[in-house]
Structure formats: structure tokens, C-alpha cells
Structure 1
């Protein structure tokens, strides 16, 4: 281990050193050795966060546990994001009980805010359908001063209940929020409104909408149109178009605070014809946009919601009207449109959004938008086309391909059988100091062996081992099989029977 130690070591410098190590064992060795080389040096929270992130990404659970114990003994001040990351690592490894134990031991650490770790653990438990345990965790920890905000955790519980068709229980949680000393936000209303409508509880959904008028819509926020639209669409689907029109009038007057002259210009009588429900829903959506005071928030909320539902035609209509009102689509709208197109396999149109629409709209694509279209191309077997985006990102100022970009590309190229191109991309990834997962190495080595490229396969095997990663047994079988298939078996050997 050749490390050039500085004359004076700071935690920031040590973080940089260990982050640049490709072998997690080497990084841990340097981390431990620093205290002995510099008697006056002390690890701080960010250094612990760096080494735990390295060990967690490498699934080195036992070493990560040792570092956590050491952090407890040092009693250095640390953010709860460190524990949130460790909890995610435990959950990924199928050790959720370890994550719960770590959270319960937080009083032993010098950490005064547990909000992020609490919400991460709650989210994981909800995702794994451990609703009773999640509820118990909330009851045990929601009253302490260490958890600063309860609204996010309550929204998580309501969302989980709504997804499992228990919107009645979610409504109870909503009604208890005031007793928890917190007030429902726009997300609370959106979650519960969608859950009640999906369960057919339209009367309760209507009362919920009316409560919005005096709680969060007192100033007529354009972003609320998504919540209003959820109920109005559900009423139309249930054949209650007349009721939907009546509520729409109240929404325009009380919810969106639409000027009287704007409301008078809208002919809502067209909606009363129950012959075409889709037509009525389209007219209602249009009224929600045109009836209120035009704003970027209302157009954005409506377009993003429509794209998320896969209603591309309606969303595009909203964007066209938005442009007519001299509003420019935001980055979030373009991102939602690209994601919607990729979900439907319309990758050519998704590429056009980035390369034409965003440029004409003076909106600079981010690495997040690029990653969406790169993944979309890889999902439809166009990884060779996707790899060209590495050059495009390199030429764009302020947009650098990240670890996710390279992982998506390498995995996509391997799925398409383009192992040579995947090998080159992985090499570029390592130059950027992004270390791939064990699964990526295993897949690439097996693929190179299947092509008879044993030399490259062995090179990547050596790289893999140098990073402290152990190949699967199937990798060794592939190497042996590949080497044996190319062996000169036609050579004459002496007869050993004599």
C-alpha cells in the first residue's frame, strides 16, 4: 500500500484519499491507520460517512458494523444521513432487523436529529409491507424531539394504506394530524384524494376537497389543480357529470380564486352531456387551466400529472396552451415527458425532446434527463445508440456523466450481447473513479468468455479481485470452459497404459 501521507492530516484530506481507493479493504486500512500515524488526529462525521458509504456500497456488512461501533466510542458529532445510509445497506442485504436495531441504538450516538433515518426506515418497512411494524415504529418515535417533522412519515403511512385499498384508515390518520401538532400539506391531500377516489369513496373525497378551500387553497394555488382533477375525473367515471360540473364551479370560485370574467367565459354546459365521458373530462381539465389565473404552477402540475398517467396527447395539449400564454415549460415537465415516452418505448420521440424541444425552449438538459433516455434506449435494445450520449454529455458544459449513467450503459450493452463495447465503457467508468458492482463484473466476464475473449476476461477478473470483490462460481466455470474449448486437444500424447 503506497500512500503519500501529508505532513498534516485533516479529515477532509483523509476523505479524499480513501474515496480514491478502488479496494474497500485498502480504504478501511488507511482509515484505521490514520489515527496511529497522527496522534492528534481525530475522525469526524464526514470521514465516518465516507468510509461507511464505501463499505456499504461494497456490501461489506461486518466491516461497516465495526466502523459503526468505533463511531459510537469516538462520540463524534454525526448527521443522521450516515445512519440512513447504513439502514438502506442493511435492508438491501436482507438484514432489516439490523437496521431497526441500529435506529433504536441512536441514543448512544452523538446525533441530535433522527428525522432522515426515521423516514428512511419507515419507507423501507412500508415498501416491504410491514405495516404493523411501521405503525409501531411511528408510535414509539413520533413524539420525541429528535424527529423534527412528522408530516412526511404520516404521508408515508397514508400512501401505504391507500395503495392497499384502506383509504378509510388513511382518512383516520389525516383527521388525527392536528393532534400530532402538524398540519396536512398539499401532498397529504393528493395522496388521500387519490386513495378515496380509487376506493369509490366519492362523498368523503368531496368533503376533503371542500376542506382544502380554507386550509391550503386560501390564496388560490395553481398547483392544486391536480388534486381537483382527481376528484372531478372520478365523478365523471362514475357517471356523475352534473355533480362534477357543480363542484368545478366551486373550485374555480373558491379553490383557484378565478376572476369573475374568466368564469363567465367558460361554457360549462357542454360538460353536462353525459354521452361522452372522455369529452367531458377533457372539457373539465381545460376549464381548470383556463378558468383560473394562468400560472406556471398550474400548467406544470397538470402537464406532469398527465404525463405520469401516460396521457401524452392531453399533456402535449396543455404544453401548447402553456406556450401560447408565454410560459416556458420547466425542466420537470421535460423530464416527465421523456420518462413517459420511454415507458411506452417511444425512444425516438424522447431523444427529440432532449435534442430539439429543450434546446429551442432554452432549457439545458441535466444528467438526470440524459439518464432517463439512456435507460429507455437500453431497455428497447438500442444500447449502441445510447452510448453516444456519453460524448454529448462530455461536450455540454456543466453536465457530467455520473455513476448511474455508466452502470445503465454497461448493463444495457451486456444485455444486448455487446460485451466488447461494455468493456470499453467500463474502462472509462474506472478512469472516472466509479467502481462497478459485483454483478456487473460477473456478467461482463461471462459474456467475454462466451465470445472466446479470454484475455479481456482474465484482465477484468484481476481488476475485480484487486477491488476486493469475489467472483461467482459461474464466472470460474465460464473461464475454465472457455479456455478448455480453445485448447489444442488434437496434440498426440504418449500412451500411458504402457
Structure 2
């Protein structure tokens, strides 16, 4: 290992040094040798976080655990985000027990806030349908001063219960929030309302809505329109249009504090008997006219409609928002692109970035670009997707991330464009993003298939130089 060590080493300098290393083993060796070369040098939290992130990204979980243990022995101050990242890495590798064990050992580290780690592990357990374990985790850790924002944690639990068609249990959690010294927020109501309506528990959903009027909607908030629309739409779907109209009047009067002129203009008689879709459209229009116009209220309505795959209705909200002089937010564009790509309408998603956002002077984010690139790759148009990588590189403040390159390489391989995939992977490595085993395998097999064995061997050697090959064998041994 030929490393030019500085005369004086600081933790910041060491973090930069190990980040620059192409080989994970070399980075780890530098990290370990630093203490012996400089008698007064000590690792700090950011250096440990950097090394843990590198090892986790490379799939070297054994070494990652060793560095975490070393950090505990050093008792240096460390951030909650470091543990949250390690917990997520363990979970992605199917090592949920290790993730849980790390969280339970946090009292032995010099870390004063565990909120992010707690919510990360809770979310993972919910996703894995380990609801009993998640509930026990919450009971054990929700009362300590190290974990804050209990409302978010309870929202996670309620959302999981509603996803599993247990809105009855979610409602119990909701009703007991006061005893946990926390109070329902807008997300709490949204989650419970969707769960109750999904299971047809409309009486309870209606009572929930009325409780909203005096708990979080006393001044009339346009952002609550999403929750109101959920109940009103569910009533219509169940043939209770008249009940929906009656409740709409109360929503406009008490929930949104709508001007009298809008409430007097409601006319549902134009809808024929049983024309549920017409009634729902009129309800959406009444809600939009009834809210106090604001960017937040329009954004909430549009994003919810795009999420519900009601693209046409969401576009109407977007048009009205512009007519009222409001500029659509980035959240709306992200939701619109996701909805269009989900429907396979990639050309329209491309227009959002190339035309709508340009006209609205809104700058696309990395996440938005990644959605479009994935949509194009899913549509087997990876060559066009490469053009958006070039746009990202040219755009100030928009740096392609590991996901960008991984999506492109996989997409190009699926389209049989292995030479272009090889070029993108090379650029990915220059940017110091390390691909997974699957990405290497797909490219190497593809290059062999088109007769470019030399390049395939070069990538195989790259795998070996990064110890990816040996890590792949370890994973195979663990799985057997």
C-alpha cells in the first residue's frame, strides 16, 4: 500500500483519504493504521461514520460490525444517523437480528438521541410484518428521553395496521395517543381515515372527521382537504351520495370555513341517479373552491390525487393552481412524474421535466430525474435515459447518485446495450459509487454473450480488486 501520509493527520483529512480509495480493503487498512502512525491521533465520530458507510455500501458487514464495536470502545461522540444507516444495511442483507441487537446496544455508545435509529428499525419491522415485535419495541423505548417525536412512531404502527386491514386496532392506537403524551397530527388522521374507509367502516370514519373539526381544523386548513376527500369519496363509492353531500356542507362550513357564496353554489342535481363518478368530480370541485387558496392546500390536493392515480383530476387542480397565480411546488411535479411513470406514460413524464418545470422555473431534483430514468429504462428506452444523466451532470447542484448509475447500468443491460452499460459503470466507479454483485454479474454475462470477453475479464478483475467477489462467496455461504 503506497500512501503518502501527511505530517499532521486530522480526522477530517483521514475521512477524505479513505473516501478516495477505490479498494475497500485499502480504505480499512488506512483507517486502522492511522492510530499507530500518529501517537496523538484519535478517531472521531465522523471518521467512524465514513468507514462504517464505506463497509456497509460494499457489503462487508463483518468488518462493519468490528468498526462499530471499536467505536463503542473508543466512546467517541457519534450521531444517530450512523446507527440508522447501519441498521438499514443489516436489514437489507436479511440480518434483522443484527439490526435489532445494534439498536438494543445503543445505551453503551456515546449517543444521546436515538430517534432516527428507533424509527428506522420500527419501519423495517413494520415492513417485514413483525407487528408484535414492533409493538414491543415501541413500548420498551417510547418513554425514554433518547427517543423523541413519538407521534411519527405511532403513525408508522397505525399505517402498518391499516395496510393489514386492521383499522380497528389502528383506531385503538389512535385513541390512546393522549396517554402516550403525544397528540394526533394531520398524518395521523389521514392514515386512520384511509384505513377505515378502505374497510368500509364509514360510521367510525364520519365520527373521526367530526372530531377533526375541533382538534386540528379549528381555523380551517386547506391541507385537511385530503382527509375530507377520502371520506366523501368512500361514501359515494358505497352509494351514499346524499350523505356525502350533507357532510360536504359541514366540511365547507366547519372544516374549511368556506365563504357562503361557494356553499350556495353546490348543485348535485345535474348528476343522474347512481352517477357516482359525476358526484365525486363535483365534490372535488367544491372542495377546491371551498378552501382558502394557498400553495399548501393545492399541493396537498394535487399530490393526493396523483397518489390515488387520478391523473386527470390532479391535472385540473394543477391548472386551477396556476390560474390562481400559485407556482406548482416540486412535490407536485414529483408526484405527477411518479404517477405517469407508474401508468407507463413515460413521454408525458418527460414533458414534465422538459417543458412544465422549465416554464415554471422549477429545477428538477436527483430523485425526480431518477424516477424518469427508471421509467424510461422500464419502457426499454435506456438510450434516451442516458441523455438525462448528461443533463444532471450539466445542472448545477444536481449530482447523480449511486441509484442513478445503478438504474442506468441495469436498464442498458436489459436492453442488450452492454458496451454503453460498461461506460456508465466506469463513470460510476470514477464517482466512487460501488455497484452491487448483481450489477457486475449482469454486465459480465452480457459482454461474454456479445463476444467481448476481454472487457468481461477486466470487470471480473475489478470485482476481485474491490473484494466484491470474496464478499459474494461469503453471502453464498451464509445463505447455505
Same topology, TM > 0.5: yes
Change (3 A) 1:38 1:274: farther
2:358 aligned partner = 359
User: Following TM superposition, by how much is the alpha carbon of 1:451 offset from its aligned partner in structure 2, in angstroms?
Assistant: 1.0
Matches within 5 A, 1:13-24: 13-24=13-24
Q: Which moved more, 1:251-260 or 1:156-165?
A: 251-260
**Partner residue, 2:230:** 230
1:471 and 1:373 mapped to 2: Cα distance? 34
Equivalent pair of 2:346/2:372 in contact (CA under 8 Å):
yes
Q: Is structure 2 residue 210 aligned with structure 1 residue 196?
A: no
Contact 1:24 1:468 in 2 (8 A): yes
Distance 2:470 2:72 in 1: 33
| Contact kept in structure 2, 1:90 and 1:99, CA below 8 Å | yes
Q: Which has the larger radius of gyration?
A: 1
Q: For residue 292 of structure 1, report the CA deviation from its aligned partner.
A: 2.0
Alpha-carbon distance between aligned partners in 2 of 1:39 and 1:270, rounded to the nearest angstrom: 85
Q: Aligned residue for 2:9?
A: 9
CA contact (8 A) 1:328 1:361 kept: yes
Following TM superposition, by how much is the alpha carbon of 1:273 offset from its aligned partner in structure 2, in angstroms?
4.8
| Structure 1: runs of 5 or more not aligned | 475-498
Task: Write out per-residue CA displacement over residues 365-416 of structure 1, whole angstroms, 9 at most, x where no aligned residue.
Answer: 1222111100000011110111111222222222222221111100100111
Cα pair 2:197 2:205 within 8 Å, conserved: yes
Contact 1:442 1:471 in 2 (8 A): no
Q: Does 1:369 align with 2:378?
A: no
Give the aligned partner of residue 275 of structure 1: 274
Could you tell me whether the CA contact under 8 Å between 1:442 and 1:472 is conserved in 2?
no
The aligned counterpart of 1:72 is 72
Instruction: Note if 1:295 corresponds to 2:306.
Output: no
Q: Which runs of 5+ in 2 are unaligned?
A: 474-480
The answer on whether the counterparts of 2:262 and 2:286 sit within 8 Å (CA) in structure 1 is no
The number of residues matched between the two structures is: 473
Q: How does 1:41-120 map to 2 (within 5 A)?
A: 41-120=41-120
Q: Distance in 2 between matches of 1:471 and 1:7?
A: 35
Work out the CA distance in 1 between the residues paired with 2:76 and 2:102.
Answer: 17
**Is 1:391 equivalent to 2:390 in the alignment?**
yes
- Alpha-carbon distance in structure 2 between the residues aligned to 1:183 and 1:288: 26
Mean Cα displacement is larger for which, 163-172 or 88-97? 88-97
- CA deviation profile, 1:432-457 (whole Å, cap 9, x unmatched): 22221121111111110111101111
Contact 2:75 2:110 in 1 (8 A): yes
Question: SS of 2:129's equivalent?
Answer: coil
> Could you tell me the TM-score, scaled by structure 2's length?
0.96
**SS of equivalent residue, structure 2 residue 269:** helix
Residues of 2 paired with 1:2 and 1:80: CA distance?
34
Contact 1:241 1:271 in 2 (8 A): no
Instruction: Give TM-score, length-normalised by structure 1.
Output: 0.93
Residue in 2 aligned with 1:146? 146
